[in-house]
Amino acid sequence: MTTFTSSRQTEIHRVLREMRVRLYTTDINITAKNITNKKKTGKRKVRKFVKFLREKINRIKTRNFDEIFCMESLNQRKRKSKGKWFSNSKKAKYSICPGQRGFLVFCNNREKEAIKEARILFDEYLPQFKDIETEEIQEEEVEIDEEEEKDEFDEAETEVKEMKVQKTEKDEVFKLMNSGVQNVLFFRTKLKDPVGFALSILNDIQETKEQKTRFLMRLVPIEVTCKASKENFQTAVKKLLLKHFENVNDKEVKTYSVVFKARCNQDFSKDMVIKVCGETIKEINDSPNIKVEYKKPDLVIMVEVMKGNCCLGILPKYFDFYKKYNLIELAAAANKAADDRNV
């Protein structure tokens, strides 16, 4: 690309301003004498530039001058500045939808490593957890042309095609979804009982006293998701609370607590959540044996709000026994208890 001195640039800008006026006329006389400098060395560069301008003008005389000469530079400036202030982040292919079950995975600024550890953990415990049923898999039939002549090579090729098409389109049992919040991952699952699956992992860690993960900190099962609004929250919570509080006898005492956390959402308040949970429990069962306990409750109503989505789950022995479903702290506590016994 040719470079010009400051004096030549001013002369070129002056000619360009004149060309704006004369653009729609047929007589456009531009010569190298108009914008030449005293030094003879710069005449060749200026003539080349003038030739370039003539070609541009003769090609599109009826168009606007800004479209010819200025739009490219303006677009380049916009692209350069856009990178500073805008993030061209594409929408995630999969996002959280109402009515899903899954797991919330909490990490500390190492999301890629936490995703790998979560998938390894799920693959390890999925065959052991036999009580969970997955959704049915749809199969597709293959139509084969019988008229074609089949050699040995053709038969092998058709068999491969059959296997590809007849392959059941089995969705992943665990699929990563976009939570929209940093350091919080959501894995959608097709398992019927995500709480039971999480408890099997936690119980195994307590028995083996082995730390399974390094970057994955907490694994919280979610039984249902809904939109972060009061009406949707009421309907979703009522279905969950019916399972646990409907058949409470007068002989047994059941305690509960509400754990609420809102991320990137200021409209969904904790007071509203506690009030709705208390009113729905009284509607389901008005027994005096159902009490609120903050330190060591039997059940914890987990409410995690992330932007416009609300994740709900009812978790047993949340604080004392399973250490807030923290896999690292659970393994450390199990090892510490074993050392104390040996001493």
- CA distance to 201, 225, 263, 295, per residue, from 305 (Å): 25, 10, 6, 23
Question: Are the beta carbons of 325 and 217 closer than 8 angstroms?
Answer: no
Render pLDDT for 1-57 as a digit per residue (tens, 0 to 9).
445 556 656 666 666 666 554 544 434 444 444 444 444 546 676 677 777 777 766
Pairing of strands 224-227, 309-316: antiparallel
Render pLDDT for 187-206 as a digit per residue (tens, 0 to 9).
999 999 999 999 999 999 99
- How buried is residue 183: exposed, middle or buried, by Cβ count under 10 Å (0-12/13-18/19+)? middle
67 CB-near residues (< 8 Å, 6+ apart): 60
Q: Specify the CATH number for 101-132+150-342; select among 3.30.2130.30, 3.30.70.940, 3.30.1330.40, 3.40.50.10090.
A: 3.30.2130.30
Distance CA 222, CA 81 (A): 42
Distance CA 256, CA 289 (A): 11
- With CA atoms as reference, report the closest residue to 315 among 328, 326, 329, 305: 326
Instruction: Report the pLDDT value the prediction gives residue 18, as an integer from 0 to 100.
Output: 61
Render pLDDT for 221-235 as a digit per residue (tens, 0 to 9).
999 999 999 999 999
Where along the chain do its domains lie?
6-85, 101-132+150-342
Distance CA 123, CA 50 (A): 69
3-class state of residue 315 by DSSP: strand
What is the average pLDDT score of the chain?
76
Render pLDDT for 51-107 as a digit per residue (tens, 0 to 9).
777 776 666 554 554 444 454 444 554 454 444 433 333 444 678 999 999 999 999
* C-beta atoms surrounding 113 within 10 Å: 14
Share of the chain above pLDDT 90, in %: 49
Render pLDDT for 143-190 as a digit per residue (tens, 0 to 9).
434 444 445 445 555 555 555 444 433 447 999 999 989 999 999 999
User: What's this model's pTM, rounded to 2 decimal places?
Assistant: 0.64
